[in-house]
């Protein structure tokens, strides 16, 4: 079969949709879903097309024709994904287990089309969780002195397993530019606040101190600036004056795991496009 | 200028999007936003295209070409709206004023592109609200004996003012088939429950009796079956055991007015398509 | 130490709070949190008091004095729980694993004060999940012919392990009156709809058919009438016309697991009181 | 009749609830609702008791006994409100009308127990709204030069009408310390963001720039520090990449009016207590 997801980004111009859909039509493709967005202030065009072709040969001819035709004509940046590619995802964790449990449960339930070849942690604490789900666990301790060396070990593992993207499931270390450069817009983090409120450490303490009536969680791509990367998903929960910091932490755990898992799913479905520091989420 | 909104519905076939967008492109139109949906189980295709043309002449030529071309080829049901048509909306009320206040406030604030030529009520109570906003108010009492006659008066007013659609803003009368037939998928009601739970009278009493933890409101198009028409919007609010029926009524008022106003806005923007007893809401 | 949770229910009368809190005060207890509710229409009084005493002896004297004093005076129904009692919870499952994974993850994370001595299932499918978390799994198949016998086996296990309450984590069998009578207001079910909408089988199919814009999940105590027991918690999620039944099922899984786990937590904290077919949830 | 609401704040000590409820009981009062909260980290006690007495004489004796008894004994800060006092609320507006319409609609519907003797504005634009609802409107223009003088005029009006609290319904001026000192914890503002994110001017622009997926509104008491006072209520709404700044403004209007009106209602019901920079909201 020939299921394709085509992501297109270019300057806004007349005729992009017409030429693109015509090219699909000419190769006997069927459009299942089309999502499109124009940023009028920046004249930027974005589109995600899910389509089906009769066979792999049609896909091959369409791809060739599209790259030599509309893609060239409109100076597009294009990504094409087939339904048979299963992405490889690496998990980074520290000591908190709720996001890890949630992700591995979905993995075992086959909720997602993904491979998880291994888990990396700077602490040994969650080894038993990895074991109970049968996933290799690499304990790579990190100290100020060993940070550079530890990241080389991480990169080696990532490359050896041809990892496509990384999920920081409450990983309590700042990721260095070297790793970020190797995985641009491909490292998903979960931050336990409603960003941009309460970036950095101990957001639940700050939320309690400020007396907010709603707490949140934010999943975003990691960039060089801490907790300031493109936001993929956010969600919130009500709290009251009677909730202690410990209560916020407990309530927040459910938010964190749901918001992180939603972001992973959107990323896996190629529904997220990054533009500047914002995301277009076709959902 | 030539802003157009085109609504398309037909059986799903290959090439619909390509031919439609190509036709727009050929007439130098620019697609601002395209929304599309295929009901796979019923092979039904739906699309909403917002586009801009250079002038009224281009619009005229495009419309002609589209009706003679893709529309015919794919046996489409097509609706085309221009940005300069301001729809006419009639309000039906009884004794509750919260939805009426909310709608008239938005109207006076020019939040919507709409005309409200008059308000009809089966009770005189809200005449003063209509007066304070400067809208004509027609008191048409209804009893079992006078119902048929009263509806004729209503229809006469609706026709005289060339009303496009009707909003029942907590109108406490069952609308007869005669009116429904005259305004198919064009009478918007607000029901004060999370349908299909608690249809009919006194839903807050039933919700309290059942001990639900969440109440809701539902805006829908009126059909012959009571509270069973196509749903446009729903929203909910949390309640607790400590909320009395009166509390539910009070909380519900805010839900009702927001959910009804959202439905009105979606209808005005031609973002709602009805298919069977369901709506496609392009939002 | 002497942490106590006292649940009180009686007819509404003057002086209940004064006499109760005075009794705590006389025995040098400290009130940490007091929640109270009066159902005015039925003149029914409900209270939950969390308090601390200096030692077990004080607790003993307070309990005696309270039972001989205010409890007798106001004809109260009283439940007293100490902080050192860890309740025993049995899990019933069938083939769906998401609620099971969520519950066992929280259990292993020590999020709750509870023991889970075993899991019962009418299918063998989830044995591997129980194994990976190290919990005994009893496969008790059920057919029309064997249902009575199977329930006797269930009851035997429940009694042998002195189970305090049962959680039906998407258990796809109707529980018989015998089990319900043995565990009144102590069998928690999760139903995958916003009750009272869509009781019974296949609620996501019905929700899709009706075209609702919001789906829900409901946790409730099991009573003899199907899906009609006292509601503990509900939550909802937005859906659109573009969501297939399969999408609703997937979205619903996250709702179900969160809503069920919240109900379990409230039950464990003795924050739920049942009155008629409604719950008082002190939260 | 003798309905009382008693607000109590003092250092946490044993016996406060017992002595307070006993004092009510001794004077034949009936407790309708009791809400209590202890800030354990600061050993601070808060309580709100709604109670009914047989007549005004009982109220008088209770009040005397309470002030000479428990209040003195526990060094309480006490506020007592009777059900017959109708508070006086002043409205400050500028050019946006949505909060004003919402408040005046509720006022006319008698949703709240409140008097609104007048509206003050630094612009003449909303005079017609005040007129249509029959409320006196004072246009007091403010420039840098006239600010001090204008505030004197405001204070004069506030004093003349014995205003109890002020609502800034999208009033686009910074209130000076003189006014804040005259109305401590009695000036309610609505800020159009999810504080502490996006304080100050143009929060919707900042929210759009940052690419958040949820926007919010926050009602809070005004303090000397801009947008940093005690939060009373917050609520949020989902947004997507496709929402322009204008869309956020429109969506935000509904949030703002609902969140502000909820705060006003809580304030009117004496359900808000301020402690440091946080609120205890007994709801």
Sign of the alpha-carbon torsion through C159, C162, C168, C169: negative
Centre a 10 Å sphere on the Cβ of residue A227 and count the other Cβ atoms it contains: 17
* C2-22 pLDDT tens trace: 799 999 999 999 999 999 999
Whether the CB of A283 is below 8 Å from some CB of chain B: the reply is no
- Which of A241, A243, A255, A280 to mutate to probe the D interface, most D CBs <10 Å? A241
Q: Where are the domains of chain A?
A: 2-82, 89-281
* Beta carbons of C225 and C192 less than 8 angstroms apart: no
* Beta carbons of A257 and A237 less than 8 angstroms apart: no
* Beta carbons of B5 and B80 less than 8 angstroms apart: yes
Whether the CB of D95 is below 8 Å from some CB of chain B: the reply is no
Cβ neighbours of C253 in A, within 8 Å: 111
Beta strands in B54-191 (DSSP E): 77-82, 89-93, 119-121, 137-139, 165-168, 187-191
In 3-state terms, what secondary structure has residue C280? strand
How many Å is the Cα radius of gyration of chain B? 21
- Which of D16, D31, D70, D214 to mutate to probe the C interface, most C CBs <10 Å? D31
Q: Which residue of D has its CA nearest to B32?
A: D242
Q: How far apart are CA B193 and CA B177, in angstroms?
A: 23
pLDDT given at position B272: 98
Q: How far apart are CA A123 and CA A125, in angstroms?
A: 6
The DSSP symbol for A72 reads: H
CATH 3.30.70.260 at B2-82, yes or no? yes
In 3-state terms, what secondary structure has residue B177? helix
Q: Residue A5 above 80 pLDDT?
A: yes
* Beta carbons of C238 and C247 less than 8 angstroms apart: no
Do residue D101 and residue B111 have CB atoms under 8 angstroms apart?
no
Question: Whats the size of chain B, residue-wise?
Answer: 283
Do residue D277 and residue A198 have CB atoms under 8 angstroms apart?
no
Whether the CB of C60 is below 8 Å from some CB of chain D: the reply is no
Q: How far apart are CA C105 and CA C127, in angstroms?
A: 16
pLDDT given at position B2: 78
Nearest to A98 among C97, C109, C258 (CB): C109
Q: Residue A144 above 80 pLDDT?
A: yes
- Which of B194, B208, B271 to mutate to probe the C interface, most C CBs <10 Å? B194
* A23-62 pLDDT tens trace: 999 999 999 999 999 999 999 999 999 999 999 999 999 9
Q: How far apart are CA D187 and CA D98, in angstroms?
A: 19
Do residue C210 and residue B277 have CB atoms under 8 angstroms apart?
yes
Cβ neighbours of C109 in A, within 8 Å: 97-98, 101
Out of C164, C181, C227, C247, pick the active-site residue: C227
Low-confidence ranges of chain D (pLDDT < 50): none
Q: How far apart are CA B117 and CA B161, in angstroms?
A: 7
Q: Residue C94 above 80 pLDDT?
A: yes
Name chain D's partners: 3 or more CB pairs within 8 A: A, B, C
Q: How far apart are CA A41 and CA B278, in angstroms?
A: 35
* A104-117 pLDDT tens trace: 999 999 999 999 99
Distance from CA of D133 to the nearest CA of B (A): 7
Catalytic residue numbers of B read: 227
Whether the CB of C223 is below 8 Å from some CB of chain B: the reply is no
pLDDT given at position D283: 86
Do residue C236 and residue B233 have CB atoms under 8 angstroms apart?
no
pLDDT-derived band at C1, boundaries 50, 70, 90: low
Nearest to C279 among B211, B236, B244 (CB): B211
Distance from CA of B48 to the nearest CA of D (A): 16
Nearest to D98 among B109, B129, B134 (CB): B109
Nearest to C14 among D14, D30, D238 (CB): D30
- Which of A32, A99, A102, A134 to mutate to probe the C interface, most C CBs <10 Å? A102
The DSSP symbol for A201 reads: S
Cβ neighbours of C29 in D, within 8 Å: 14
- Listed by number, the residues of chain D in 125-164 with a beta carbon closer than 8 Å to a beta carbon of chain B are 129, 132-134
Cβ neighbours of B17 in A, within 8 Å: 17, 21, 31, 34
Distance from CA of C12 to the nearest CA of D (A): 10
In 3-state terms, what secondary structure has residue D115? strand
Q: Rounded mean pLDDT of A154-165?
A: 98
Note the CATH number of domain C89-281: 3.40.50.170
pLDDT-derived band at A1, boundaries 50, 70, 90: low
* A183-206 pLDDT tens trace: 999 999 999 999 999 999 999 999
* C181-209 pLDDT tens trace: 999 999 999 999 999 999 999 999 999 99
Alpha carbon separation from C22 to A148, C31, C49, C66, D18 (Å, rounded): 64, 11, 12, 10, 5
Q: Which residue of A has its CA nearest to C235?
A: A237
* D4-54 pLDDT tens trace: 999 999 999 999 999 999 999 999 999 999 999 999 999 999 999 999 999
Do residue D241 and residue A198 have CB atoms under 8 angstroms apart?
no
Query: Treating both helix axes as pointing N-terminal to C-terminal, what angle do D245-268 and D98-108 enclose, rounded to 10 degrees?
Result: 30
* B112-162 pLDDT tens trace: 999 999 999 999 999 999 999 999 999 999 999 999 999 999 999 999 999
Cβ neighbours of B105 in D, within 8 Å: 97-98, 101-102, 105
Alpha carbon separation from A106 to A18, A115, A217, B87 (Å, rounded): 39, 12, 20, 49
* A235-270 pLDDT tens trace: 999 999 999 999 999 999 999 999 999 999 999 999
Q: Which residue of A has its CA nearest to C109?
A: A97
Nearest to A197 among D197, D230, D278 (CB): D197
Question: Whats the size of chain A, residue-wise?
Answer: 283
Q: Which residue of B has its CA nearest to D259?
A: B254
Catalytic residue numbers of A read: 227
pLDDT given at position D83: 85
Do residue C195 and residue B216 have CB atoms under 8 angstroms apart?
no
Cβ neighbours of D232 in A, within 8 Å: 213
What ipTM, to 2 d.p.? 0.95
Q: Rounded mean pLDDT of A212-225?
A: 97
- HSE toward the beta carbon, residue A142, CA cutoff 13 A: 21
Instruction: Measure the CA dihedral D76/D79/D83/D89, to 10°.
Output: -160
Both tokens assigned to D204: 């919707």
Do residue C18 and residue D14 have CB atoms under 8 angstroms apart?
no
Q: How far apart are CA A130 and CA D17, in angstroms?
A: 50
Alpha carbon separation from D111 to B249, C179, D114, D115, D116 (Å, rounded): 11, 48, 9, 12, 13
Q: What is the pTM of this model?
A: 0.97
Nearest to B25 among A14, A24, A38 (CB): A14
CB pairs under 8 A between B and C: 77
Tens-level pLDDT at each residue, chain B (283 residues):
679 999 999 999 999 999 999 999 999 999 999 999 999 999 999 999 999 999 999 999 999 999 999 999 999 999 999 988 899 999 999 999 999 999 999 999 999 999 999 999 999 999 999 999 999 999 999 999 999 999 999 999 999 999 999 999 999 999 999 999 999 999 999 999 999 999 999 999 999 999 999 999 999 999 999 999 999 999 999 999 999 999 999 999 999 999 999 999 999 999 999 999 999 999 8
Cβ neighbours of D241 in A, within 8 Å: 37, 278-281
Distance from CA of A17 to the nearest CA of B (A): 7
Nearest to C279 among B230, B233, B241 (CB): B241
Q: Collect contacts of C11-16 with beta carbons under 8 A, ≥24 apart.
A: C11/C43, C11/C44, C11/C45, C11/C74, C11/C75, C12/C38, C12/C39, C12/C40, C12/C43, C12/C44, C12/C45, C13/C45, C13/C74, C14/D25, C14/D28, C14/D29, C14/D30, C15/D25, C16/C45, C16/C47, C16/C70, C16/C74
pLDDT given at position C153: 97
Q: How far apart are CA D170 and CA D168, in angstroms?
A: 6
Nearest to A277 among D40, D211, D233 (CB): D211
In 3-state terms, what secondary structure has residue C111? coil
């Amino acid at each position: 079969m020939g299921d394709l997801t085509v992501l297109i980004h270019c300057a806004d111009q007349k005729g992009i949709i017409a030429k693109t859909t015509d090219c699909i039509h000419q190769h006997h493709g069927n459009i299942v879903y089309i999502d499109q967005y124009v940023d009028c202030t920046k004249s930027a065009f974005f589109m995600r097309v899910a389509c089906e072709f009769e066979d792999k040969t049609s896909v091959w001819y369409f791809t060739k024709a599209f790259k030599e035709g509309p893609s060239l004509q409109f100076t597009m940046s294009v990504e094409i994904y087939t339904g048979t590619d299963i992405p490889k995802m690496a998990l980074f964790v520290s000591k908190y287990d709720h996001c890890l449990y949630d992700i591995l449960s979905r993995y075992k339930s086959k909720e997602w089309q993904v491979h998880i070849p291994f888990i990396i942690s700077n602490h040994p604490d969650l080894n038993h969780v990895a074991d109970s789900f049968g996933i290799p666990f690499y304990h790579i301790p990190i100290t100020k002195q060993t940070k550079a060396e530890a990241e080389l070990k991480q990169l080696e593992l990532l490359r050896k397993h041809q990892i496509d993207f990384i999920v920081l499931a409450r990983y309590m270390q700042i990721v260095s530019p070297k790793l970020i450069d190797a995985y641009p817009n491909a490292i998903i983090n979960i931050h336990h606040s409603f960003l941009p409120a309460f970036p950095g450490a101990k957001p639940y303490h700050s939320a309690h101190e400020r007396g907010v009536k709603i707490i949140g969680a934010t999943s975003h791509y990691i960039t060089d600036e801490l907790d300031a990367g493109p936001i993929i998903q956010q969600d919130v929960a009500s709290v009251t004056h009677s909730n202690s910091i410990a209560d916020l932490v407990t309530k927040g755990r459910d938010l964190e795991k749901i918001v992180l898992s939603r972001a992973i799913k959107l990323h896996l479905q190629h529904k997220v496009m990054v533009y500047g520091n914002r995301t277009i989420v076709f959902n």
